[in-house]
Amino acid sequence: MAHTAPLISRRSATRLALAAAALSAFAAAPAAFASGDYPNKPIRLVVPYPPGGPTDIVARVVAQKLQEQLGQSIIVDNKPGAGANLGAEQVARSTPDGYTLMVATTAHAINPSLFSKLNYSITKDFTPISQLTSGPLVIVATPTLQASNVKELIALAKSRPGGLNYASSGNGQSTHLSAELFSAMAGVKMNHVPYKGSAPALTDVMSGQADLMFDTMLSSMPFVKGGKLKAIAVTSSERSPSAPDIPTIAEAGLPGYEAIAWNGMLAPAGTPKEVIDRLNAALRTVLQSPDVKQRFDGQGFAAKWDTPSAFGSFLNAEVEKWGKVVKTSGAKVD
């Protein structure tokens, strides 16, 4: 009997070890199952802007095609407010399981340096999935402006320091900071006149109340085609397929200039890699489909797929680039 107790202890220890291993495997199973079975319920795609705008249009085109690839419904949820920060903060705080995603824009790269207080970090609280679109702004001017190309615009601005008024859709928006980047690179000073949206700003440019504006092609090109505005140049490094006759700012007199409006898809930080890879692969098919490319070309932007790491590097570079422009411009929002 002296040897019985140690024998029972060894058996008990073995059973305990096996039980612990089984519990450990069971605990790990839900996460593995969730990733491997993804998606098994509808996905919410947050758009931090109102319905009907350029970002909302992109989101709905992508959502429709993405749900065909994934076999699950994708619900577009508009959460506008606070300069696109309200929706971003909600997604950053969401469960990182791949069922809450966000469409980010150039504004999210600008906001870290523009707002004195943010309750999230676009680079730390999110995991990049892929870029979705890339498109230029276009410099449009009142038809009577005595400049029809970039070199003439720079010469006119230099001859009238602070005398040219440029409109924007709001303080700190890409329509504002793209013009500030232009001014800094060209060594000119123009007077900024912020509006609440592109529509009233364009109205004043058309009437001559403001001289020019850096605006999205979606909202401004119909007026260019109608003769109510004249297009001077696009802000991308290459000409836009939707307006191939309009030169780039870089080729027309300001080498190295580039400012693009973009959309990308993000998930909360900590989302499993398997889920990110699944979404990225599906987006590749979506963004390379001819009908999606055609839809986006008609809106003035190009479909652009990227790997998660490449999109992450792009996002970091955008945050750094616009941070310098914000600092130079002195723009701030409390």
- CA dist 213 and 192 (Å) reads 10
Considering the domain architecture, whether residues 63 and 105 belong to the same structural domain is answered as yes
Q: Is the pLDDT of residue 11 over 60?
A: no
Q: Residues 154-178: what's their mean pLDDT?
A: 93
Considering the domain architecture, whether residues 159 and 305 belong to the same structural domain is answered as no
Place of tokens 């616009």: 322
Q: Is the pLDDT of residue 223 over 90?
A: yes
Considering the domain architecture, whether residues 125 and 89 belong to the same structural domain is answered as yes
- The chain-wide mean pLDDT, for the chain, equals 89
Q: Quote the domain boundaries for residue 169.
A: 136-234
Query: pLDDT tens across 90-123, in order?
Result: 999 999 999 999 999 999 999 999 998 899 999 9
CATH number at residue 89: 3.40.190.150
Considering the domain architecture, whether residues 117 and 193 belong to the same structural domain is answered as no
CATH number at residue 208: 3.40.190.10
- CA dist 35 and 29 (Å) reads 10
Lowest mean pLDDT among 44-58, 143-157, 301-315: 44-58
Considering the domain architecture, whether residues 127 and 140 belong to the same structural domain is answered as no
Side chain identity at 136, as an amino acid letter?
P
Is residue 211 within 8 Å of 164, Cβ to Cβ? Answer: yes
Considering the domain architecture, whether residues 128 and 268 belong to the same structural domain is answered as yes
Q: Is the pLDDT of residue 137 over 90?
A: yes
Considering the domain architecture, whether residues 200 and 228 belong to the same structural domain is answered as yes
Q: Residues 254-278: what's their mean pLDDT?
A: 96
Q: Number of folded domains in the chain?
A: 2
The verdict on residue 150 lying in a domain is yes
- CA dist 20 and 309 (Å) reads 37
The closest of 126, 129, 93 to 108, measured between CA atoms, is: 126
Q: Kindly state the tokens that stand for 193.
A: 């006149």
The verdict on residue 240 lying in a domain is no
Query: pLDDT tens across 18-66, in order?
Result: 444 444 444 443 443 345 799 999 999 999 988 887 889 899 999 999 9
pTM of this prediction? 0.79
Give the model's pLDDT for residue 276.
98
Give the model's pLDDT for residue 51.
87
Considering the domain architecture, whether residues 296 and 275 belong to the same structural domain is answered as yes
Q: What is the CA radius of gyration of the chain?
A: 25
Considering the domain architecture, whether residues 130 and 144 belong to the same structural domain is answered as no
